[in-house]
Homo-oligomer: A and B are copies of this chain.
Amino acid sequence: MKWKIDDIPVFVAIVEQGGISAASDVLGQPKSTVSTTLTRLEHALGLRLVERNSRNLRVTEEGEVFYRKALLILDQVREADATAAGMSAEPSGRVVAAMPPAFTQEVVAPHIAEFQIRFPDVSLDLVLTTQGIELLRDQVDLAVVVGPKVDSDLISRVLVAGPLAWVTSPSYASTHDLRGGIDQIRSHIRICEKRYGRARMPVRVDGVQTQIDLSTGVSHVNSPLVAREAVVNGAGVSALPRLYLRESLASGRLVEAFKNVTFDLDASVLSVVYPHRRLLSPRLRVFVDFLEEICRQR
């Protein structure tokens, strides 16, 4: 096929307007462009579509037949254009998001209903994952990941950045002496999240930089919620992101401990990563905004 589909609207305009000058007015193109376009189409098709001189124009029989076919093409083109316009104008469709289980259960789940009310045409496909995510390979739209992700291709926006807090159950606190130096403090820590379970975890004790061993003899789990439940049930003291502690502290199920032992800022960071800032579809944009909003509220 040697003809250009983009010549179709020009040909249709010539036929319908009855002339090249009139067609150029309607198309908003110079008449030399319109004239040359018609000539090119006729040569590519090997058909004389229009007989014309400076005063008369006559659509040939072949031109009439091709014109009707051209109208069908334009019908479909307008349909596609309208569909594309609709897609880029309002949020609809499915968002596939990979997120950590704890974050999803504790932070996102309570707000899903409200998101659905606001954006009825957007469906969520939430993929709880504990492995590293690659958007393209894993065929997901976006991901919430631990850390301030920096990637040359991806856009990263920090959702949560804050310190950890030491917590224990009231009963544990009332039956144990939580005072003392680093060694005494260390003896109370029996479980913590795996990501913090380092042999030399940097902390400040009374403002003085030091390190604490959260590796040897401390149980690890890759879920802040499980660590939290263990502590609620008497498993000593643990350091957890404040993100997951709001309700437990408010209800008194947990109490803060070791207030003189603090972590550096941003020990607990979660980011949302997605491929582009430009041409981000409306539904992705609103979901990212939604995640930012619910994290800001905590």
In the complex, which residues of chain B have a beta carbon less than 8 angstroms from the beta carbon of A77? 1, 5, 73
**How many of A's residues come within 8 Å of B, CB to CB?**
50
What are the residues of chain B within 8 A of A60 when measuring CB–CB? 281
Please, what's the 1-or-0 string for A59-71, where 1 marks a CB less than 8 Å from any CB in chain B? Answer: 0111001100110
Answer whether residue A137 sits at the interface, using C-beta atoms and an 8 A cutoff. Answer: yes
In the complex, what distance in Å separates the CA atom of A51 from the CA atom of B140? Answer: 10
**How far is it, in angstroms, between the C-alpha of A280 and the C-alpha of B45 when the chains are bound?**
12
The answer to whether B61 and A83 touch across the interface, beta carbons within 8 angstroms, is no
Bound form: Cα–Cα A75–B75 in Å? 12
- Return the CB mask of A71-94 against B: 1 if under 8 Å, else 0: 011011101110110011000011
Q: Are B56 and A83 in contact (CB under 8 A)?
A: no
- List 8 other contacts, CB 8 Å, given A5-B5, A73-B73: A1-B77, A48-B279, A52-B136, A55-B137, A57-B136, A58-B139, A61-B281, A66-B87
Within the complex, the shortest CB–CB distance from A98 to chain B, in Å, comes to 14
A53 at the interface (CB under 8 A from B): yes
**A6 on interface, CB distance cutoff 8 Å:** yes
Q: A42-B279, A65-B87 are in contact. Are A76 and B80 (CB under 8 A)?
A: no
List 6 A-B pairs, minimum CB-CB distance, nearest first: A69-B80, A56-B136, A46-B88, A5-B5, A48-B279, A73-B76
Cross-interface CB contact of A80 among B42, B66, B94, B280, cutoff 8 Å: B66
How many copies of the polypeptide does the oligomer hold?
A: 2
Chain A residues in the interface with B (C-beta under 8 A): 1, 3-6, 8, 42-43, 45-48, 51-53, 55-58, 60-62, 65-66, 69-70, 72-73, 75-77, 79-81, 83-84, 87-88, 93-94, 135-137, 139, 153, 275-276, 279-281
Chain B residues with Cβ under 8 A from A135's Cβ? Answer: 51
For A69, list chain B residues within 8 Å (CB): 76, 79-80, 83-84
Which of B47, B81, B83, B281 is A48 in contact with, Cβ under 8 Å?
A: B281
Cβ A70 vs Cβ B80 within 8 A: yes
B48 adjacent to A276 (CB under 8 Å): yes
Assess whether B76 is in contact with A1, with CB atoms less than 8 Å apart: no
Would B48 and A280 count as touching, CB distance under 8 A? yes
> A60 CA to B94 CA in the complex, in Å?
10
